[in-house]
Amino acid sequence: MPESPVFEDVKDEGKIVKAPIVEVIKNDWRNVLRGIGLRVAETAGYAVSITYMISYLKTAELATATETLVALCIAAALGIFATAGWARLTDRVGRRPVYLWVCAFGIPFGVLMFLLVNTGLVLLIIATFVIAYGVCQNALAGAQGAWFPELFTANTRASGASLAYQISAMVSGFTPFITTLLFESMGWMGPALLFSAYAAIGLWAALVTRETWGPAERQAAEKAAADHALAA
């Protein structure tokens, strides 16, 4: 597979950075922090709405293991298509609008999803998993694949995006521990508010992060594709 043109240009122009991690931390640390905030909403939110929710349903005796597994499998199956669908939507409307709307939705959904599962109704539990996975997680993941690399210059792109991904994953790793503590002190409202807080972090990060795929970029891409088609 040939290298992408933007990386070939970096090589031809002699702009290869010997220590890209050092370079991106030194000169582009703000975008690394923005990327961490953007991804925490997805990974940590998933840890609450899916990982912790499985345990919560069993502990609270709201669903059997089979019912929970069915709900999870349905959500995961739909998620295969949802991520690609959300990614295509970001190609049409931009990365930032999708992130803003989904994170804004996630703030009230933190409480709503627990209210839904607390009914003990299987259909509502399935719907909760589908929304949590197919919207709150898949939409953000679909946007990240393009948005994160676009935030950085070509010679530090891989390192910058990787730092945002890995650091946010480490931060999110504490979520199961935090949800347990919150549940012991506040009941289900604790994890619900934690999910909302993660969505709020994502919303803030999206607000302070620039759009990388606006009308100008989309028009340029369409023109390049048309020129390539004519040349072929």
Q: Can you tell me which residue has the tokens 């961490």?
A: 36
- For the chain, how many residues are written? 232
The pLDDT, as a whole number, for residue 137 is 97
| DSSP, res 153 | -
State how far the Cα of 52 lies from the Cα of 232, in Å rounded to an integer.
52
Amino acid letter, residue 34: R
Which residues have C-beta within 8 Å of that of residue 120, sequence separation ≥ 6? 62, 63
Q: Can you tell me which residue has the tokens 């993660």?
A: 198
Question: Is residue 224 very low, low, confident or very high in pLDDT (cuts 50, 70, 90)?
Answer: confident
State how far the Cα of 155 lies from the Cα of 9, in Å rounded to an integer.
10
pLDDT tens-digit readout, 23-50: 898 989 999 999 999 999 999 999 999 9
The pLDDT, as a whole number, for residue 103 is 98
Q: What is the mean pLDDT of the chain?
A: 91
Least-confidence region, from 16-20, 66-70, 71-75, 114-118: 16-20
pTM check: above 0.85: yes
